[in-house]
A and B are shown apart, each in its own frame.
Chain A
């Protein structure tokens, strides 16, 4: 299908970076603030595509993108797939249950076999931290990290930043509280790097059993008292309690977790009047967040999902490189 692209939809050229330095997006670590801004600005333009009657542009026509998901994922996988389709890429999604991984094939061999089919990009979600880095070492394709173990989930942090910026107009100087299982969360690690780099003021909160070593740094402090974290917050980001990881000795019970750390309307009153409440999903209602808050007026949780598509379009587009950039207006 041939789609005429309106000129006004070309991404605005930001003052700093014009393209990404790296070939891959393995994490927020390694991105410079100007590159983060470039992705967010590009996502602004991409968001406009979703508002059109025909939500498709030919930017990645003829490119092959493989979505390689070794962990169950609904939100992230469908978000990438929608983003790829809106950019006209040929896409292929592989989930572990249907691949040779179950036959004992190593990740390296799986990827070498995929490479033989010459994909341009591989989007990978994997339970082991660093799996995308291994891919990047052995692949010709550009690698996009869609979540690796307890390490990073860069596109989630980018869509979170995009959502925050849409509401607050900036990231620098904002008070952001992140509450939950800090130890196991890749969403936390990416958000920490991104928001810290962009000058936000972070307060991280969770039970002391779930606070890993080495988080504190200028602009970042940790606390086990949720009220302290919420005080005057512009943004409250709740992290999922992964029940399968609790093993009975990180927290005594989900009930007690909610008592001590659950986000309730009463607690939320400590935050600023125009606070926004975020959650990367999937939510455990009544564990980390009260339904009244999740569905309440401050919640931007569904907006996050919508923005995910625009941000992932931006990442795919920018990584596709100069060729895609120059051949086609978005």
Chain B
């Protein structure tokens, strides 16, 4: 059965397209993109005035928790949260139990993802065995099993030497190293951004340079090896500066920023609910100058990707003392409202740039299928309703966990429809 998306504003930066077009889908692929396409017996989905049709969003930084921590999230619940959030593809980090440092685990993840049949799941393999930072994992076999990149996320790649070898070896395979940048000694047992709020609340601080020192190392090593490094969840203005300088010299470096880091600052810690563990994530919410630098980098093109660092944790695990709570918040189902409300409607970026950050570039950075609405591409499509206001309700989300600091927030920008392989997998009520 053919499907015809009729009306709506197609925004596809990869094809340089922004205007009123119809999209004809057949056998899971996009067959034609054109004006006033004939119905010819297709099933028609009439889109409303003002709706945006974009290539399916891709979140390249997600924690699915399976295997090992299914009480937080499963591959199926994470994939459901993804499509509810407009994401047709997600790349999952290897810090499961056991760590995904082996082809067998990658195969398990892909099998579970296929059973769920929702978002496409792209495993990211560990750089080192057990992510212990000692010995390289079998990156070649991991690639053959389906890994799209390598990372010891949650921890930085431990030594400069290991990072160098990993870049060289992964470069040979044509895959990037995705690094969670933080200097372990400077981070220490910190739990919040080092600054006036951590001082006042008596929380141990993590300075921004704990991140940027490692970013500088990685940029230098990418330059040395000629390989591609992708910097995870950037939060500090010094990191942005290091990436910008690297890009100016032609280093193969890309980077991502999470919605919470362009929305919130550490001042939130001193809000009405003090010591809210849903404001604890790593890297931490930083000060205004850092948040503003992220906004600037998003607008000027230095930032390649918006990725959520979706990190589900059970309510019981978060209902503890701040310094004992695990780091991380969910993100899949709040990204679109935050991007539209805080960036697009705030006049900081265009709709086209938003699509670039959420779809075109993530696909390019990890060399994934998707990210465009070209003819013959898989019909992974999101339809956005940019003017609809939504109230975030953690209890109603598809993720198994409720650890979001945005619960109760009213934001303008919503997902209307999500299609994966031409199938409607999510429809907003």
Contact = CB atoms under 8 A, between A and B. Distances in A.
Interface in A249-272: none
Contacts of A138: 319
A230 interface: no
B274 interface: yes
Contacts of B323: 128-129, 149
27 contacts: A26-B274, A106-B320, A107-B321, A108-B319, A128-B321, A128-B322, A128-B323, A129-B201, A130-B201, A130-B203, A130-B274, A130-B322, A131-B321, A134-B275, A134-B320, A134-B322, A148-B202, A149-B323, A150-B202, A150-B203, A186-B202, A189-B202, A212-B199, A213-B195, A213-B198, A213-B205, A214-B196
Given A130-B274, A134-B275, A150-B204, A215 B199 contact: yes
B60 to A, nearest CB: 33
Given A133-B274, A134-B275, A148-B202, A213 B320 contact: no
B194 interface: yes
A107 B201 CA distance: 19
A130 B194 CA distance: 17
A133 B275 contact: yes
Given A106-B320, A189-B200, 12 more contacts: A26-B274, A29-B200, A128-B322, A130-B275, A130-B321, A134-B322, A137-B273, A151-B202, A212-B198, A213-B198, A214-B195, A214-B199
B322 A129 contact: yes
Given A133-B275, A213-B194, A214-B196, A151 B321 contact: no
A234 interface: no
Contacts of A152: 202
A129 B203 contact: yes
Interface of A: 26, 29, 106-108, 126, 128-131, 133-134, 137-138, 148-152, 186, 189, 212-215
B316 interface: yes
Nearest to A151: B202
Given A108-B320, A129-B322, A213 B202 contact: no
B165 interface: no
A125 B197 CA distance: 22
A137 B277 CA distance: 13
Contacts of A189: 200, 202
Interface of B: 194-205, 273-275, 316, 319-324
A131 B194 CA distance: 20
B204 to A, nearest CB: 7
Name the 6 nearest CB pairs between A and B, nearest first.
A214-B196, A151-B202, A130-B275, A150-B202, A128-B321, A129-B202
B167 to A, nearest CB: 32
A129 B319 contact: no
Contacts of A134: 275, 319-322
Q: Most B CB atoms within 10 A — which of A126, A133, A152?
A: A133
A214 B202 CA distance: 12
Given A130-B275, A213-B196, A214-B195, A106 B202 contact: no
Contacts of B205: 212-213
A138 B319 CA distance: 10
Contacts of A150: 202-204
B336 to A, nearest CB: 31
Contacts of B316: 106
A134 B318 CA distance: 11
Nearest to A138: B319
Nearest to B321: A128
Contacts of A131: 321
Contacts of B275: 129-130, 133-134
Contacts of B324: 128
Contact of B199 (A106, A128, A133, A213): A213
B276 to A, nearest CB: 9
Nearest to B275: A130
Contacts of B196: 213-214
B148 to A, nearest CB: 38
A29 B266 CA distance: 18
Nearest to A136: B274
